Amino acid sequence: MIKHIVMWRLKHEAAGASTEENAQKVKQMLENLKGVIPEILHLEVGMNVLPSPAAYEVALYSELASLDALAAYQKHPEHEKCKEFIGQIAAQRAVVDYEI
């Protein structure tokens, strides 16, 4: 099993919306991938509740069966739509993929 974790630090204002508005949109977009991309076994999206200079605004935690499943997820057209939007509003991104 692959655990796929991504965190984003968002721009203060982007795409005509505030950080908070964009964080909520990212959360909704990513959560909408459940049931659409069959490779996703589990997916959670959290928004930071304790602001600090080290904090990221949005975090994604997901589980996929294998590296092949992760590759299929990453190429899926609905995931590509999320990536396109997030690319416009994110200032920084951190990711870790590990196998258990």
98 vs 57, 63, 84, 94, CA distance in Å? Answer: 22, 10, 24, 14
Question: Which pair of tokens denotes residue 12?
Answer: 């203060």
What residues make up the domain containing 32?
2-99
How many CA within 13 A on the CB side of residue 95? Answer: 6
Give the number of domains in the chain: 1
Per-residue confidence in pLDDT tens, the chain, 100 aa: 999 999 999 999 898 999 999 999 999 999 999 999 999 999 999 999 999 999 999 999 999 999 999 999 999 999 999 999 999 999 999 999 999 9
In this prediction the pTM is 0.93
d(CA 89, CA 72): 24
d(CA 31, CA 6): 14
d(CA 60, CA 38): 17
CATH number of the domain where residue 50 is located: 3.30.70.100
